Structure 1
């Protein structure tokens, strides 16, 4: 059995309220094992050996059926979570790196077209101070001055890149990874 992280998007934002205890119970009643929620933003650690793509579909369906709204689910291994931290070029120390609160890894449903990412980066270069880079099914983004003042919302990124995504900052990812290990 493999320890996995399920990142559920749109949880406890925009009126999509779920109590983590209720989410945990729903998942356990649906056959998921060793379920642990981390924070109140749709981070679920669980044990399973099914195909991650099938788990994502199952989790999205469960949220829709039980809680009545659409959520995207991204399932990743501990190694993939670690890579989303370590490979993020904006995370670390030094003047070229951002704060752990502002630097995000946006987990994507699939690898976006490189030309779409390049186009987004080029177009945004003169519009804001945010920095973007592409990884393996993850978009790295340093919001510099905060998510709330950025034009690069999740909806904009999904529309431009034609993939679903859900973001977590470095503080959250480090906390989650510690609980996975």
Structure 2
């Protein structure tokens, strides 16, 4: 059994409202164990015998069928998640700025985001892994951040999702317990 963190894109924003109890109930129909949801923003940890691409397909199909929205997920196994966290150059607990990580199921998309984001004034980026790109933003400035606006473009919807580093830590700690 492999331990996974499953990050849902666009849940409980933009009119897509899914209660975590309903999400857990739906996921219970899949061949998963130790399913837990964290926060209300589409973070799931679980164990499965499936590999990551199989799990991605299962979860996306289930969400589309059960909740009727164009669902996209990014999946990291526990070692990948630990490596991303360890590679982050910015702390999770900085009171002046948030540390975000954009996750992707397609490394080429992160290459593109890094290239375009690196051209934006004042944007700091760090590639953490083939599937993760970190960026800090001053507290209170997330919606107006140039990189936030770039990564929110519709072209990235099917392959990326962004989480605060603190959320990744919570997922890791839950999986490790």
Distance 1:166 1:100 in 2: 23
Query: 1:166: which partner in 2?
Result: 161
Q: Is the 8 A contact 1:107 1:139 kept in 2?
A: yes
Q: Is the 8 A contact 2:104 2:110 kept in 1?
A: no
User: How big is the shift at 1:36?
Assistant: 0.8
Query: 1:106: which partner in 2?
Result: 102
Q: What is the SS of the residue equivalent to 2:31? A: coil
CA offset digits 1:100-156 (Å, max 9, x no partner)? 9611111101212676345314420x2xx3311223211111123531111323323
User: How big is the shift at 1:50?
Assistant: 0.9
Residues 93-172 of structure 1: pairs in structure 2 closer than 5 A: 99=95, 102-112=98-108, 116-117=112-113, 119-124=115-120, 126=121, 129-136=122-129, 137-145=131-139, 146-152=141-147, 153=149, 154-156=151-153, 159=155, 164-172=159-167
Q: TM-score, normalised by structure 2?
A: 0.85
User: How big is the shift at 1:41?
Assistant: 0.9
Please provide the CA RMSD for this pair.
2.4
Q: Is the 8 A contact 2:11 2:18 kept in 1?
A: yes
Q: Is the 8 A contact 1:101 1:171 kept in 2?
A: no
For these two proteins, the number of residue pairs brought into alignment is: 172
Residues 8-27 of structure 1: pairs in structure 2 closer than 5 A: 8-27=8-27
5+ residue gaps in structure 1?
none
**Structure 1 stretch displaced more, 1-10 or 81-90:** 81-90
Counterparts in 2 of 1:101 and 1:60: CA distance versus 1, 3 Å: farther
User: How big is the shift at 1:59?
Assistant: 0.8
CA offset digits 1:46-65 (Å, max 9, x no partner)? 11021101211111111111
